[in-house]
Amino acid sequence: MARKHRQRESPTDFLKTIPDIAERVLGLQGASRLPLDFGALEASLDAATDALDASSTESVLSSPALRTGLLKLLAWAARQPPPLSDRVSTECKKKTEFAGAVVDLTSTLLLATVSAPAAISGQLELARGVLRTQALHAAARQVAQFTEGLIQHPPGPLPSAKRLQHVAATLMMTRAHQLMIGVLQLTSHKGDPGLLCQLAAALAESHILEHCARAVLMLRWSSATQPNVEMWAALAQSAGSWVSAVNTCHELWQKAYASSAAVAEPGPGASGCSTSAGDAAAPPGASAAGASVAASTTAAKQLYAVMTGLSARHAAMAVGLAVLSRLEGEGAPERHGHAACSCISTEQEPLHMFDDIESSLLCLQPLLLTISPPPPTFAESSRGLGPAASTQLLLRMAHTISGSPRSGARGSRGLAPATDLARTFATELGCMALSTGFRHLHRVGKHPQAAAVLGDVWRLAAALLRHEVLGGDEDEDGTAATCACGLGLAFNTSVSPLWDADAVDGDGAWRFPADAPASMAAAVAGGALPFLEHLLRRSSNAPERLEAPVARTLTHHWFWSLPLLAYGESLQAGAFVATVSKLLRRADPRALLSGELEGAGTGVTLAFELLRALEENYYDAAASPALGRLALVMSLALPSWLPELSRLVREAAALDQAAWNEERRTAGRAAVETGLSEDLWTCLERLLRTLTLFGASGHCQPRAADAESSGPASTSPSCSDGGAPSDWSAAAAGLAFPSGGSPCGGDAAARADGGDWRAAVLEAADVVPLVGAALGLLERWGRCLTEHSGLYCQVGTWAVHLARTRPDEVRGAARGDVGPAFMWRPIPMVFASSALYSSDGWEDVARRTVHIAKQLEAWAGGGEGSPSWQEEMATGREVALDPVSHSSVGFAMSRLLVPPAEARRRLGLPAACSYPACASLAGDSEAGARLQQCGRCGQASYCCRDCQTAHWRAGHKEACSGGAGASKAG
């Protein structure tokens, strides 16, 4: 009768009888003595679980009586053994099925999404109750018991008992994983620190993840010896649930580790010293915060030990490598040399069930965790693959998830994530892989395999960024900062042997030995230059993608790219320089006034950082082929960069001057501050300093005072137009200098190409208006020589030099021919003379700046001034443009500069686009770009139709031998 009545109840009403059922199942005193029909109970419980909706779920979770009854049933169910024989009674089988239904209901309630406060509280209490009943411990013992049965059976045909052993192990693992995943995901979603600590302790004590990993390994081995569809399906189910548990455990570990690290880290100004008992009392809550830190630290260590046990690592390798091989389409993993044991090396791959990309990508995460180096505080737990093998495997994974074929891998195809979910998984996996590679690089130090790791890290970054695995329209998770930080580390590691931080009294100095150090050779071989060029091009073409914030965030790390130009392949270095030139043509001068130089565009940042690198000391007394190659590359770069940088600075100064004048007009003179953009000051100062490399024919001759105090590099010889000095002859080695020529800028080849090519660079840079813009800024700044005194001296020195060499242009600038923003004014010239008078050795230049100031005042008033002012400029020795230190790498390199056309010939570079203002960034690189010749003259070549048309209109029409009078481009 009761049975008929129960059938008329709704499925969820059955859940109200759980407390009574629990007492009867456990045989507690006072419970009904009526026999239980476990088959009917299992059917009703399954129906009730399937019928749960949001309302009924919250009702069950809010009831303490129902939660208590369910926990009693769970404690009984977790200890029910599965049937191990065909002769097991029907009643025993029904009990096993009912036990599974109890676990299903429990995990369903733990994973449910609820909003009512009482239901949320009840859900957390249910999770704590699961841990208190030690259900995980019981499940771990049963998994271990049945795994032993798999081990003891010899290979060969499987009898009925062996198949039942497979079923038993799979059933036990399913129960264990259901409980684990339920508690793990609830803890992850709710973020309850107390529950997290309890769960970490239970996982560590029970070793359940380790036992399940061991079962996966044995199921894999046993299934391979006697394959059949049922066993493969059981293995796929077990491996999939184990992977899910490991990945969720990893999420919890990240939270626990981040919490402990963040709270324990001293704040700004903290000394880290302990406080004695007599010191001031700790603020309220300090002891609670300390306890929270300790608990989070303990939980993090426990979870890390759970994830990195021997069996867990072994299973992650076995499953991950098998899935990776299938994704690559290359068959069994032993073809890659990973056949360490029979559970990894199998002829018939039983993990064919993971054919969907989402599941496959999830299976790679435990493998990634296995090859990741431990955090600093977990160093004692480090074990597994070495750094070189790990980065090789990371690179393999990167090519797979990016869908790009792996170099040298026959038949490798990779995957192309087609669904949004797959792309999300691929992005997360790519971020983890890149971060892992950077961590290996950080830890490798002076390891013998450090160079191999460095090269693979460059390849890894290129594979992931180039194929848009990490790309996205938003950077919400800090991926750009992570990538930029890691790339900065790769930069520093690559060039560290070339930078002596202790040289020149701690100022640091560059070294360019003949042969590239191992780290630099690894960076070049790893494709650092092509990767960085691609990063720059994508940052401009697709500013909404990840490459743009990565390139911007690198900022000062571009300083370290200078040696790559010295040791990189000529074609790659030339392509990199050309890309920077095009970025400068695209840059907006207004960004120089924004207060952040990176806002001016990555090309501007990079160019000025490389100019800064040229100002650093060069410690080697003798030149080397590397320095000669750098000079050839910079012979291409500087004549193209300096005019564009001058244009940007002048336009920014004009905009700033106009804005200042408008403020003066509207707010009054007294209300206007004279503060200027620090970036504009810095860029102007650095630009004028670099232009001195082209400023005078006598730039190779250092002043006597400087030669005495220039330090180690003062032994560098001078260079005249007559030929190359003997101790600089090494710079010419292997660089294909013409017969009888020299690496110096004044050699026969340079004169043949036009002896005034340096002057042409200054002409293109519009130095006279540039100095006028600087004078306008100095006038606003006033006589403030404590800051930027170097700029005052540079402006004064350039003024004297230009007044002597270009008097007519200076006269026009004083009368406003170049525009009001670039006029030469007398007052700032007086400020410059004051700065020069206060500098030792510059009295003669200071005296002449005073004469220039008087002459500028006369010209501004419409007069002619002193008729002998030019004679005054010519008296005394010639002014040496000296803002570049004679001990700098720029000064050493300046002796080797040649005309751009000659540099291109010596480097063996193909022709570039003939349109001087070309700013096309189509494609990944300038290297290998296909040019189309002019159909009329055959002398000019263009990268695109737009450049050809623009050049035709800009003057090629008249110059083209076949186009005189023509009406259209060739």
* Higher pLDDT among residues 483 and 330, named by residue: 483
Q: How high is the mean pLDDT of the chain?
A: 75
Residue 811 banded pLDDT, cuts 50, 70, 90? confident
Tell me which residue of 917, 505, 881 sits closest to 703, measured CA to CA: 881
Could you say which DSSP state residue 333 is in? G
User: Does residue 196 contact residue 261 with C-beta atoms inside 8 Å?
Assistant: no
Residue 863 pLDDT: 77
Classify 792 as helix, strand or coil: helix
User: Does residue 939 contact residue 961 with C-beta atoms inside 8 Å?
Assistant: yes
Residue 743 pLDDT: 34
Q: Which residue has the tokens 């074929």?
A: 405
Please check whether residue 257 lies inside any domain of the structure: no
pLDDT tens digit string along 203-216? 889 888 888 888 88
Sign, CA torsion 577/582/587/589: positive
User: Does residue 199 contact residue 131 with C-beta atoms inside 8 Å?
Assistant: yes
User: Does residue 419 contact residue 358 with C-beta atoms inside 8 Å?
Assistant: yes
User: Does residue 73 contact residue 22 with C-beta atoms inside 8 Å?
Assistant: yes
Check: pTM over 0.85? Answer yes or no: no
- In this structure, of 327-336, 386-395, 424-433, the range with the lowest mean pLDDT score is 327-336
Please check whether residue 921 lies inside any domain of the structure: yes
Domains of the chain: total: 1
User: Does residue 845 contact residue 703 with C-beta atoms inside 8 Å?
Assistant: no
Tell me which residue of 207, 251, 927, 954 sits closest to 569, measured CA to CA: 927
Please check whether residue 943 lies inside any domain of the structure: yes
Q: Which residues contact 160 (CB under 8 A, 6 or more apart)?
A: 86
Most confident region among 480-484, 642-646, 705-709 by mean pLDDT: 642-646
* Higher pLDDT among residues 743 and 112, named by residue: 112
Please check whether residue 957 lies inside any domain of the structure: yes
Please check whether residue 929 lies inside any domain of the structure: yes
Q: Once rounded to an integer, what is the mean pLDDT over residues 63-82?
A: 87
Degrees, nearest 5: CA angle 738-739-742: 65
Please check whether residue 773 lies inside any domain of the structure: no
User: Does residue 600 contact residue 648 with C-beta atoms inside 8 Å?
Assistant: yes
Residue 676 banded pLDDT, cuts 50, 70, 90? low
Please check whether residue 947 lies inside any domain of the structure: yes
Residue 675 pLDDT: 54
Tell me which residue of 384, 362, 374, 382 sits closest to 257, measured CA to CA: 374
d(CA 927, CA 910): 9
Query: What angle, rounded to 10 degrees, do the helices at 387-402 and 450-466 form?
Result: 10
Owning domain of residue 957: 914-962
Tell me which residue of 434, 604, 462, 610 sits closest to 547, measured CA to CA: 462
Q: Extract the tokens encoding 125.
A: 């209490």
Please state the φ and ψ torsions of residue 499, each to the nearest 5 degrees.
-120, 115
pLDDT tens digit string along 458-473? 888 888 776 666 655 5
Residue 193 pLDDT: 81
The alpha-helical segments, DSSP class H, found in 191-285 are 193-206, 208-225, 229-264
Q: How many CB atoms lie within 10 A of CB 865?
A: 18
Q: Extract the tokens encoding 410.
A: 């026959």
Long-range pairs of 715-723 with CB within 8 A, sequence gap ≥ 24: 715/621, 716/618, 716/621, 716/623, 716/886, 716/891, 716/892, 719/744, 719/746, 719/895, 720/744, 720/746, 721/697, 721/746, 721/747, 723/747
**β pairing state of 941-942 and 932-933:** antiparallel
Residue 797 pLDDT: 86
Beta-bridge mates of residue 32: none
Please check whether residue 620 lies inside any domain of the structure: no
Residue 781 banded pLDDT, cuts 50, 70, 90? confident
Tell me which residue of 699, 686, 614, 705 sits closest to 881, measured CA to CA: 699
Tell me which residue of 646, 939, 905 sits closest to 767, measured CA to CA: 646
Long-range pairs of 466-470 with CB within 8 A, sequence gap ≥ 24: 466/402, 466/404, 466/531, 466/534, 466/924, 467/402, 467/403, 467/404, 468/402, 468/545, 468/546, 469/398, 469/401, 469/402, 469/426, 469/427, 469/430, 470/427, 470/430, 470/431, 470/434, 470/546
